Chains A and B, each alone.
Chain A
Amino acid sequence: MTIGRKLPLALGGAGLAAAFVLLTPGIGILAADHLDPPSRTDPAMDSTPDRPADIADIYAWHTSTSVILALTFSGPQATTLPATYDRDVLYGINISNAGATTDTEIPIRIKFGQDGANQYGVDVSGIPGVTGDITGPVETIITKDGVKVRAGLYDDPFFFDLQGFRNTLATGNLAFNPNRDFFAGQNLTAVVIEIPRDRIEAGSRLDIWASTARLGGQL
């Protein structure tokens, strides 16, 4: 489900006078970006949902010394379940720091691999100033050439009243409840990367987006 970050809007249609009616179809399909696109990641609409490749959220912020990136995916899920490390999925964090804002100067790529039973590793490539890839076990902080990486299972950081959103769309009335967080008490898999700011900074503007792709085609 593309919940988190892809809100459960799924609206369609073009009639203006009928816009209210058109708020109803598709409700309940998504939320932030969890389960989006539904035709590929939502079990309700796809018999082979690609949960590992389902982006939940992309976060990016800066401090005086760092740029921090956090890509969350394959969630939210119950707190009894393990993380998702699918070696056939290529995760991307695409950064434009110069020229056209739509061009990617810094294509960061993330992959997972395995070394025996329940021993998973992460490989991060494309970070400026790093010699070769950054590789190592998940669930531990890996440091190389000034860059930190940690992949693992985490609390789902998104907070939002999904039910209120659905109710709002269904009724046409604001129906959020600040005490109802659909994502509370749930986990997901994520990769966090902290990069020295001078590796990324070329001008003042950055454009950042995330992508996922599956080896050999979609499920």
Chain B
Amino acid sequence: MTANSRKFAAVLCRTAPIALGLLTLAACGDNNNDAPPVATPAPTPAPATTANFNVTRCLNQTIPGTGLTVAGAVVPDTLKINLAAASGFPNGRKLTDPVIDVTLGVIFLDLTKNSPALLVGLNPTANDVAFRTTFPYLAAPQGSPPLSNTNGANFNFRTDAESAYVRVDRMGMPAVSTALIGSSRKTAYNDASPADDAAGTFVPDLSTTLTGLTNALADDLVARGLSPCATPN
């Protein structure tokens, strides 16, 4: 575990039980496993940055309106819905939500000074075609692709037990967790389940990657007049 991943774990240990109620984090209190879970890729010549930030404060922030910390929103890797509040990412995920820009805001900005929505507009803010306002909500396919006929009635559905199937892919939160898991760990991540997330299995990966991104991009955020949540080491 790197120093920063330890800090991330410490943050999770402090905040996750509050945010997630019944969960316990098996990794809490265990700092003895120093085996880095992420293989180091072959170095590619590139200018290195000297920035060195600590992202603990970012992960410990509460996302306004959700009652969740950033760490609690990412771990476990599920879409979280509070039915008592209005729908819209990160409270669930609607088709129209600009999830990438909101995510960037949430993981990089000081949410006491900047709105999580402040980076909306970096990327396109809407789909290229309009969504339907009624079920099934998704827009019709573009172009003139061949479509299945709709007259079948006796379909040959498999009847095998679920145990006969082997996991290929999983997904909960858009971008965040998948983006924050290194290439060498993606297979293990997709084989895992939210219980593994909650046990802290991938916390070092998340912390390491977020730190790297912050070190690279913090200067850009400051140049735009924004307040990064990370603190210099």
Residue of chain B at shortest CB distance from A53: B168
Interface size on B, residues (CB 8 A): 114
* B131, B145, B183, B208: most-surrounded residue (chain A CB, <10 A): B183
Task: Write out, one digit per residue, whether chain A residues 13-31 have a CB within 8 A of any chain B CB (1) or not (0).
Answer: 1111111111111100110
Residue of chain A at shortest CB distance from B166: A217
Task: Write out, one digit per residue, whether chain B residues 89-119 have a CB within 8 A of any chain A CB (1) or not (0).
Answer: 0001111001110000000000000000000
Q: Taking A119-B148, A211-B169 as contacts, is the C-beta distance between A87 and B158 under 8 angstroms?
A: yes
**B152: Cβ under 8 A from any A Cβ:** yes
A residues lining the B interface (CB < 8 Å): 2, 4-26, 29-30, 32-33, 36-41, 50, 53-55, 57-63, 67-68, 70, 72, 78-83, 85, 87-90, 96, 99-103, 109, 111-116, 118-121, 123, 135, 137-141, 148, 150, 152-155, 157-161, 164-165, 168, 172-174, 176, 178-181, 183-187, 190, 192, 194, 197, 201, 204-218
Instruction: Looking at the assembled complex, report how far the CB atom of A136 sits from the nearest CB atom of chain B, in whole angstroms.
Output: 8
**B82: Cβ under 8 A from any A Cβ:** yes
Q: Taking A19-B216, A111-B158, A114-B156 as contacts, is the C-beta distance between A204 and B84 under 8 angstroms?
A: yes
Q: Taking A82-B147, A172-B49, A185-B128 as contacts, is the C-beta distance between A102 and B197 under 8 angstroms?
A: yes
The answer on a CB contact under 8 Å between A22 and B41 is yes
Instruction: Looking at the assembled complex, report how far the CB atom of B144 sits from the nearest CB atom of chain A, in whole angstroms.
Output: 7
Known: A70-B138, A181-B124. 13 other contacts (CB 8 A): A5-B99, A16-B233, A26-B41, A30-B178, A59-B94, A82-B145, A102-B23, A102-B78, A137-B150, A159-B127, A180-B124, A204-B83, A209-B171
Instruction: Choose among B129, B194, B217 the residue that contacts A155 (Cβ–Cβ < 8 A).
Output: B129
Instruction: Looking at the assembled complex, report how far the CB atom of B215 sits from the nearest CB atom of chain A, in whole angstroms.
Output: 5
Question: What are 10 pairs between A and B in contact, CB < 8 Å?
Answer: A5-B178, A12-B40, A26-B182, A67-B81, A70-B137, A79-B144, A102-B23, A102-B193, A114-B156, A121-B157
**B195: Cβ under 8 A from any A Cβ:** yes
Instruction: Looking at the assembled complex, report how far the CB atom of B32 sits from the nearest CB atom of chain A, in whole angstroms.
Output: 17
Complex Cα distance, B84 from A201, in Å, reads 10
Residue of chain A at shortest CB distance from B193: A102
Residues of B within 8 A of A62 (CB): 81, 83, 87, 92
Residues of A within 8 A of B144 (CB): 79-80
Instruction: Choose among B131, B147, B178 the residue that contacts A83 (Cβ–Cβ < 8 A).
Output: B147
**B209: Cβ under 8 A from any A Cβ:** yes
**B146: Cβ under 8 A from any A Cβ:** yes
Instruction: Looking at the assembled complex, report how far the CB atom of B162 sits from the nearest CB atom of chain A, in whole angstroms.
Output: 7
Residues of A within 8 A of B190 (CB): 36-37, 40
Residue of chain B at shortest CB distance from A26: B183
Residue of chain B at shortest CB distance from A66: B135
Instruction: Looking at the assembled complex, report how far the CB atom of B87 sits from the nearest CB atom of chain A, in whole angstroms.
Output: 4
Complex Cα distance, B201 from A102, in Å, reads 14
Residues of A within 8 A of B221 (CB): 174
Complex Cα distance, B140 from A135, in Å, reads 21
The answer on a CB contact under 8 Å between A14 and B128 is no
The answer on a CB contact under 8 Å between B83 and A119 is no
Complex Cα distance, B184 from A174, in Å, reads 25
Instruction: Choose among A63, A67, A87, A154 the residue that contacts B140 (Cβ–Cβ < 8 A).
Output: A154
**B227: Cβ under 8 A from any A Cβ:** no
The answer on a CB contact under 8 Å between A208 and B172 is yes
Instruction: Looking at the assembled complex, report how far the CB atom of A85 sits from the nearest CB atom of chain B, in whole angstroms.
Output: 7
Instruction: Choose among A68, A137, A209 the residue that contacts B194 (Cβ–Cβ < 8 A).
Output: A209
The answer on a CB contact under 8 Å between B147 and A139 is yes
Residues of B within 8 A of A22 (CB): 40-41, 212
The answer on a CB contact under 8 Å between B142 and A33 is no
Q: Taking A12-B183, A26-B183, A139-B147 as contacts, is the C-beta distance between A218 and B138 under 8 angstroms?
A: no
Residues of A within 8 A of B170 (CB): 55, 209-212
Complex Cα distance, B136 from A139, in Å, reads 10
Instruction: Looking at the assembled complex, report how far the CB atom of B28 sits from the nearest CB atom of chain A, in whole angstroms.
Output: 16
